């Protein structure tokens, strides 16, 4: 960890000099030639620092007396009625967590004491920026919140599908969310970050640059909840029976491997099925294909933390898996959908402060702020301090306390005494031996609004992430940045972002600037710490490098028509099911078609409502007359053309060639088009599908 003898304010150090944001005296400050008033609290108290919460020492815990932070986060938590301020659009499922082996050496948490023990779980996946009615395939972070109903209380691992975050200090969370949400004067764009406010904030917040690389990558447009990772984001502690501390970071690894979609595909999916992710999870569980993740933990001690190149308390940083390999400790299986969406998925309340004995917090300032915030949020959203009486939030272990009354109270203390200590021998008592104990860390220092110097490197890991991507993934980051910044109407914001990109990768910055038509390259943004260029690429950060080794869990769309060769269709279906995938039939009419032998082929989709964007691969099994007829329909042509443009593997019967001609796709264009009616055609198609995409096609289609 970098030395912390010097102090770093953590305030913006960008093309706009910090002095423009904060004057050296006086009540008004000059920004862009205009006078603005001094920021105050809602009580009119002048604010000296709106960038850092108050803490003990530069790396210490946040203090409760920080009234400005408390008021700011309190008001933010209560801005929406009744939907969540963030993570409003979510979908959840029940399941269980199964422990592999005892971790008693590291933690006394009951869930990790016995190998093979199963703990009930509820998981909620979500987008962050959009409202409840927004679409699933927004370019966005995905929430990955896990509630484990342990025998010693509920444990909420409230994480995301990205291991870092935009900000280092929770006091900036309201600003970050306000910036990414729809602009308040016009109430759009919805569930999109491609607008001035978001990029204005980001361009003035260098600490966001690592997160921006992740959000502009394919991680932000996952194919399914089932194919994405989850992370606890923060550094926590494990405490064993001797109260010895081990730092821990949590990783959820999907059994089916990683997979995302491409942006053009995401846009079309949102039009064809805005509930794409919801439907996918529902169908998987209802069909018995239960999604599964493996929980892995990075464990390290204080010596590792002190010698790590970055601060383990900084939520904008990761510990590369190649440096510290995550250890498998259990598996999470989702096997049951809620009986009622509102009662369970909508009313479930996650809180970072819900940890069992044996798990504790670090001084990560974002985590400390989240621990303040979540209780406020649940009180406002669910209408009562008794939200734990709602079944989805109630512990499944015995619980005893003296809390009583209040709106919607379903349980109250029984008997004479509702307090302790009491002399009647009634009611529960604390247990110093079994109860939750915080790690007795020694804290010292002044009460200050500063960040440690060890938080000041905002570009090195952003560069490492970009360098860890494969060429197709790097192209996608370029395309995402170009698209998002093209929607920004203020030229100086676009230029400011390019200045930041120069500190990450010059080629990236130059390409984005060229695509945006920026005539003169700006100077690199000012840096508090010079970015490093010696960090090795981390293959674990690439989706393509961590894809599956099978086609299991995926879906093939098969286009049929009158006269389709039924024997070939059945052979393909057997191969798909053997692979662990599913097949859905698309036809001119949803009722189906008559096959070549006079039998009837039932269809799941009609061609207009079953575009190829809904599938991971496609097959076209048309008779020659059927192909001639469908070649005149734009939806059928798009079925083929989009699949080709989205780099999917395409199987076909030779008799279908007329449709391909009309769609502008040559059946011998590349190895991704496989004729099924050749002797080994079906096997060749399934082997190809295991690669998911033919990335080598991308430069040709120029998507």
Judged against a pLDDT cut of 60, whether residue 561 lies above it is answered with yes
Cα separation, 204 vs 14, whole angstroms? 6
Q: What is the pLDDT of residues 108-128, one digit of tens each?
A: 999 999 999 999 999 999 999
Cα separation, 287 vs 271, whole angstroms? 25
Judged against a pLDDT cut of 70, whether residue 696 lies above it is answered with yes
CA torsion 143-367-393-285 (nearest 10°) is 20
Exposed/middle/buried for residue 433 (C-beta within 10 Å: 0-12, 13-18, 19+): exposed
Instruction: Using DSSP bridges, classify how beta strands 617-621 and 650-652 pair: parallel, antiparallel or unpaired.
Output: parallel
Judged against a pLDDT cut of 70, whether residue 221 lies above it is answered with yes
Mean of pLDDT values over 647-668: 97
Q: What is the pLDDT of residues 324-370, one digit of tens each?
A: 999 999 999 999 999 999 999 999 999 999 999 999 999 999 999 99
Closest CA to 684 of 630, 632, 617: 617
Name all contacts of 72-77 with Cβ < 8 Å and 24+ positions apart. 72/171, 72/174, 73/170, 73/171, 73/173, 73/174, 73/369, 73/372, 73/373, 73/376, 74/376, 75/42, 75/174, 76/173, 76/174, 76/177, 76/373, 77/373, 77/376, 77/377, 77/380
Q: What is the pLDDT of residues 464-489, one digit of tens each?
A: 999 999 999 999 999 999 999 999 99
Closest CA to 690 of 576, 572, 560, 583: 576
Domains of the chain: 86-378 (2.40.180.10), 458-544 (1.20.1370.20), 553-701 (3.40.50.880)
Q: What is the pLDDT of residues 607-643, one digit of tens each?
A: 999 999 999 999 999 999 999 999 999 999 999 999 9
Q: Where are the beta strands (DSSP E) in 494-576?
A: 555-560
Coarse DSSP helix, strand, coil percentages of the chain, rounded to the nearest 5 percent: 30, 20, 50
Residue 405: the pLDDT is 87
Mean of pLDDT values over 646-657: 97
- Does residue 451 contact residue 458 with C-beta atoms inside 8 Å? no
Cα separation, 413 vs 423, whole angstroms? 17
Q: Where are the beta strands (DSSP E) in 287-441?
A: 292-300, 327-336, 359-361
Q: Around Cβ 397, how many Cβ atoms within 10 Å? A: 13
Choosing from 52, 160, 161, 386, the catalytic residue is 160
Lowest mean pLDDT of 78-92, 386-400, 533-547, 620-634, name the range.
78-92
Q: What is the pLDDT of residues 33-46, one digit of tens each?
A: 457 787 887 777 78
Mean of pLDDT values over 4-28: 38
pLDDT-derived band at 80, boundaries 50, 70, 90: low
Tell me the pLDDT of the chain averaged across its residues.
Answer: 92
Mean of pLDDT values over 670-681: 95
Q: Where are the beta strands (DSSP E) in 561-599?
A: 582-587, 593-594
pLDDT-derived band at 5, boundaries 50, 70, 90: very low
Cα separation, 41 vs 171, whole angstroms? 13
Residue 422: the pLDDT is 87
Our answer to whether residue 386 is catalytic in this structure is no
Lowest mean pLDDT of 231-245, 325-339, 344-358, 434-448, name the range.
434-448
Mean of pLDDT values over 212-240: 98
Residue 445: the pLDDT is 92
Helices (H), strands (E): how many in the chain? 20, 24
- Does residue 432 contact residue 357 with C-beta atoms inside 8 Å? no
Residue 28: the pLDDT is 41
With tokens 């998507």, the residue in question is 703
Q: What is the pLDDT of residues 86-106, one digit of tens each?
A: 999 999 999 999 999 999 999
Lowest mean pLDDT of 9-13, 50-54, 80-84, 553-557, name the range.
9-13
pLDDT-derived band at 81, boundaries 50, 70, 90: low
Our answer to whether residue 646 is catalytic in this structure is no
Judged against a pLDDT cut of 50, whether residue 17 lies above it is answered with no
* 569 three-state secondary structure: helix
Choosing from 29, 68, 87, 500, the catalytic residue is 87
Residue 11: the pLDDT is 43
Residue 34: the pLDDT is 54
């Amino acid at each position: 960890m970098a030395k912390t003898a010097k102090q770093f304010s953590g305030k913006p150090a960008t093309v706009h000099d910090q002095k423009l944001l904060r004057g050296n005296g006086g009540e008004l400050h000059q920004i862009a030639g205009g006078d603005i008033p001094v920021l105050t609290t809602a009580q009119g108290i002048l604010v000296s620092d709106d960038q850092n919460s108050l803490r003990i020492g530069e790396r210490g815990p946040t203090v409760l007396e920080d009234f400005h932070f408390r008021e700011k986060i309190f008001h933010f938590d209560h801005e929406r009625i009744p939907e969540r301020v963030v993570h409003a659009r979510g979908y959840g499922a029940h399941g269980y967590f199964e422990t592999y082996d005892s971790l008693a050496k590291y933690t006394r948490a009951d869930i990790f004491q016995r190998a093979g023990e199963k703990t009930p779980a509820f998981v909620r996946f979500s987008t962050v920026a959009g409202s409840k009615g927004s679409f699933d395939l927004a370019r966005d972070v995905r929430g990955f919140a896990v509630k484990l109903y342990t025998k010693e209380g509920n444990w909420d691992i409230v994480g995301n599908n990205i291991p870092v975050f935009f900000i280092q200090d929770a006091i900036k969370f309201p600003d970050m969310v306000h910036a990414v949400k729809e602009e308040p004067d016009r109430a759009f764009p919805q569930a999109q970050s491609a607008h001035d406010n978001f990029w204005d904030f980001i361009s003035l917040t260098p600490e966001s640059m690592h997160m921006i690389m992740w959000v502009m990558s394919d991680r932000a447009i996952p194919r399914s909840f089932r194919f994405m990772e989850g992370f606890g984001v923060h550094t926590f502690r494990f405490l064993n029976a001797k109260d010895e501390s081990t730092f821990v970071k949590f990783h959820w690894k999907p059994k089916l491997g990683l997979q995302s979609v491409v942006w053009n595909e995401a846009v079309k999916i949102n039009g064809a099925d805005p509930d794409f992710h919801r439907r996918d999870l529902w169908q998987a569980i209802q069909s018995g294909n239960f999604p599964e993740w493996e929980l892995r933990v990075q464990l390290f001690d204080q010596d590792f933390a002190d010698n790590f190149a970055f601060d383990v308390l900084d939520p904008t940083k990761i510990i590369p898996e190649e440096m510290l390999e995550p250890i498998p400790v259990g598996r999470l299986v989702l096997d049951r959908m809620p009986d009622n969406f509102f009662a369970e998925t909508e009313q479930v309340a996650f809180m970072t402060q819900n940890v069992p004995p044996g798990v504790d917090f670090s001084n990560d300032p974002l985590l400390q702020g989240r621990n303040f915030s979540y209780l406020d949020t649940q009180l406002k959203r669910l209408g009562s301090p008794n939200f734990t009486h709602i079944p989805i939030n109630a512990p499944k272990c015995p619980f005893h306390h003296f809390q009583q009354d209040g709106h919607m109270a379903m349980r109250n203390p029984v008997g004479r005494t509702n307090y302790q200590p009491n002399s009647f021998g009634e009611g529960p008592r604390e247990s110093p031996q079994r109860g939750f104990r915080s790690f007795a860390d020694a804290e010292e220092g002044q009460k200050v609004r500063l960040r440690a110097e060890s938080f000041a490197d905002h570009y090195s890991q952003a560069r490492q992430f970009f360098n860890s991507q494969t060429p197709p993934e790097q192209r996608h980051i370029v395309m995402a940045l170009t698209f998002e910044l093209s929607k920004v109407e203020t030229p100086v914001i676009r230029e400011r972002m390019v200045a930041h990109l120069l500190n990450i990768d010059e080629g990236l910055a130059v390409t984005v600037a060229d695509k945006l038509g920026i005539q003169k390259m700006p100077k690199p943004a000012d840096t508090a710490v010079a970015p490093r260029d010696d960090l090795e690429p981390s293959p674990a950060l690439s989706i393509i490098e961590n894809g599956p080794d099978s086609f299991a869990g995926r879906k093939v769309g098969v286009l049929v028509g009158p006269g389709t060769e039924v024997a070939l269709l059945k052979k393909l279906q057997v191969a798909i099911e053997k692979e662990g995938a599913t097949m859905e039939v698309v036809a001119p009419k949803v009722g189906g078609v008559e096959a070549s032998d006079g039998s009837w082929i039932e269809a799941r989709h009609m061609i207009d409502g079953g575009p190829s964007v809904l599938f991971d691969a496609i097959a076209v099994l048309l008779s020659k007359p059927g192909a001639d007829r469908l070649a005149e329909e734009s939806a059928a042509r798009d079925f083929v053309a989009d699949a080709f443009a989205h780099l999917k593997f395409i199987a076909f019967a030779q008799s279908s060639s007329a449709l391909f001609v009309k769609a502008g796709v040559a059946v011998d264009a590349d190895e991704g088009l496989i004729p099924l009616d050749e002797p080994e055609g079906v096997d060749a198609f399934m082997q190809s599908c295991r690669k998911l995409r033919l990335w080598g096609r991308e430069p040709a289609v120029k998507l």
